[in-house]
Chain A
Amino acid sequence: MAQLYQTQRAMRNMRQAAMQRGVIAILDVGTSKIACLVLRFDADLRPVADGVGSMAGQSAFRVIGAATTRSRGVRFGEVAAMAETERAIRTAVQAAQKMAGVRVDHVIATLSGARPRSYGLAGEVEVEAGQVTGADIGRVLAACEMPDYGDGREVLHAQPVNFTLDHRSGLADPRGQIGQTLATDMHVLSVDATSIENLLFCIKRCDLELAGLASSAYVSGISSLVEDEQELGAACIDMGGGSTGISIFIRKHMIYADSVRMGGEHVTGDIAMGLQVPNATAERIKTFYGGVHATGMDDREMIEIGGDSGDWEKDRRTVSRAELIGIMRPRVEEILEEVRARLDAANFECLPSQQIVLTGGGSQIPGLDGLASRILGQQVRLGRPLRVQGLPQAATGPAFAGAVGLTLFAAHPQDEWWDFEIPAEGYSNRSLRRAFRWFKENW
């Protein structure tokens, strides 16, 4: 627990130190594209307008540079070829810096793969002074029993999502309240350490310093779910290029995250294999003509798929759109089925509200919401990321849910509970304090 506390605290300090500098970069390392946003923090938390607050820190920053580039060397949201990835990051960072006109030294990065795994932790302590203080919160966080999440894994997020004080559950901030027993539920997300290290090394090779790391599923949820969905319970499905992230939110906290190692690139691969075309052509066909619902009209709409073989017959091939949909649909269904399985494993159906929000570049397939509602449940909508100040129009699509979510994460991270000191372990300290208390009570 002490190690978790230290790493969380270190990450928090790192991010705050970087934000003190004023300019910070957001790096979304995805399988199909790498997006880089440059944020300028003004530390100006004044209300934006009459009746509008600081909007959870969103008014404090502004996007001053944005760039995106085709991703290289990333597979399933994990770095597969270091040099390629490094070059892609360099491209994105350079373009964003050029647009911003400032040099960026610190980046907050997100990664979508790395096999996230969620754990629910519970801790319980006796309240010392009758009234809950910051020290009690630190102790209850320390009292959580760490699960054995295995070697070679790191905790990426650890957030207390709920506090219970003497059978009164659902407390967001128990400080100052009077009670006997303080219990907490903590959500811990662990990922593969090697993926993090690889990404870290790539970023370091670009002369940048990592100021924070977040799970893509989590940050997509922050940006795509609206406030009441986050409050009442919703799942965000971030359909990326190489992996599909799932995050479940309730009471504004993520309680579960997972990722399915399938995404848009697999659909493209299926098309390329099915139609015998290069990947680039398959991608083009998918984005122009893709869909998941075939109608009678689609049988008549013929798509020239072309080819560079020099063979006239091969280069003049056409397929109907229905055929294309016939290739795409099973793969999309497979992804959604897998997501369904993960949601079932997380007992999503027990939540009071079962809103499902589809976001990410893959969610732009026409007709996906209809297919998803058939597989995932009735309450499905397509989500776009929140608008933040200064974001270019080109970066407002659902493909940028991760990047935009990361800006929100930078402005309003939900890890402020780690500011409380965790009591140093050891008997001597406690006995000394007990002696002191005895002394105070008897004199």
Chain B
Amino acid sequence: MAEEVSSQMNSLSISETNPSSSATISLVSGDDIVFKVEPTIAKEMETVQSFIDETDGKITTIPLPNISSHDLPYVIEYCEKSIAGKITKEFEAEFVKKLNNEEVKELFLAANYLNIKKLLDFLSQVIADRIANKSVEYVRRYFGIENDFTPEEEAKLREELAWTFTGVDPDDEDEN
């Protein structure tokens, strides 16, 4: 995977906009790796597109400080499939199989930042599936939530909500 990615990218500094390559858009990840994509891909990313629109298309190098070079290829792959109208259940199943819990969360944040509705909805469903029927402790770990209830408060709440906890699966081994 790492080699595959590195073949597609060249390290450029953000300010170096090359006017001859105005047809393609350069997306610069948080760790300064440049990904060249077709303008149609950029259109899928609302945040990127609005940046391009605001500058009347003059700026084609977009810094994405919140997205790592590890996550960006996944986002681009999904957008490419989306444009080609090839988002099928099979593709999504394969796509998500490659991702561990941490990567799903990272991609979710990326999709949210880039404002890609389809990807965001898809990953929301993935996250929902991964926390479905899991114990409270598991979901707390999953989201990194600190329990701020006193033991008494929690016991009372658990009692009130007891009927919602039927059918909880045993915790999986944590992937991370």
- Chain B associates with chain A: no
- Residues on B close to A: CB < 8 A? none
